[in-house]
Amino acid sequence: MQLKVIGSSSKGNAYVLDGQQESLVIEAGIKLKEVKRAIGFDNLPKVVGCIISHSHNDHAGYATEYAAAGIKVLALQATLEAKSITRNCMAIEEGKGYKIGGFIVYPFGVMHDVPCIGYVVCHEECGKLVFFTDTYACQHSFTGVNHYLIEANYSDERLAENIAAGRLPPMLRDRLLTSHMEIGNTIAFLRRNPLNAVRNIILVHLSDGNSDEVQFIDRTVAATGKRVYAASAGMVIDINRSPL
């Protein structure tokens, strides 16, 4: 299986777990034509569904387009209502499991400024993947994870520099503290969880102005000893269930 990054920023987020026979879209913040381009226009029937974290447009702005194209959208009821999606969809709840083709997904709660969830995604081709974004912390623990798709939005140092230089308003810091994951929190979360089965850590939703891709990767590698990527549009990562 391959992870294909369609977009991973405040401009739009979407990822595809692209398997041999079926695919799952994570987030709907990018136009469907970009998903088609990534997996091949003739392969849209492979897509068994799209799971969405929350209602903000950079994550769900094109969800109605996906549903209209026949892709089943799974999201919280609040997200479906916010996007007026009533057909080809399923309202899901935290703590329950859902089967989408050969994928099994388990939603769990995270902490953002609107109702928001992360997902554990399991498939025989990739094993267990944990995805969460747009949260300032994650209080859950996970075992047996093979791949993390996890937010590292900003660094306190870079944010403070930008505010001091007048490039950003001070009020932005208050919002970020209660809505997005700082790189130190990302690393602390990873270190709290067993990493023996982890093969890939993919950092997502890096801020254009308040992050440092190279530094974030280096810090995460130093803390975990794992293979680390910073997601960017067009990136393709093998996430097969093969041994390390």
DSSP SS3 for 79:
helix
Residue 116: how many other CB atoms lie within 10 Å: 23
Q: 7: which 2 tokens?
A: 């977009």
DSSP conformation letters of 125-161: TTEEEEEE-S-S------SS--EEEEE--B-HHHHHH
The reply to whether 156 falls in a domain is yes
Domain that holds residue 144: 2-238
User: Contact 128/122 with Cβ under 8 angstroms?
Assistant: yes
The reply to whether 128 falls in a domain is yes
The reply to whether 150 falls in a domain is yes
Predicted TM-score of the model (pTM): 0.95
CATH code of the domain in which 81 resides: 3.60.15.10
Alpha carbons within 13 A on the beta-carbon side of 92: 28
**Alpha-carbon distances, residue 217 vs 57, 73, 160, 221 (angstroms):** 27, 32, 20, 6
The reply to whether 225 falls in a domain is yes
pLDDT in tens, the chain (244 residues): 999 999 999 999 999 999 999 999 999 999 999 999 999 999 999 999 999 999 999 999 999 999 999 999 999 999 999 999 999 999 999 999 999 999 999 999 999 989 999 999 999 999 999 999 999 999 999 999 999 999 999 998 888 888 888 887 887 777 777 778 999 999 999 999 999 999 999 999 999 889 999 999 999 999 999 999 999 999 999 998 765 5
For the chain, the domain total comes to 1
The reply to whether 243 falls in a domain is no
The reply to whether 229 falls in a domain is yes
Nearest Cα residue to 45 out of 15, 74, 21, 27: 21
The reply to whether 158 falls in a domain is yes
Instruction: Give strand pairing partners of 121.
Output: 105, 129
Longest dimension (CA), the chain: 51
The reply to whether 220 falls in a domain is yes
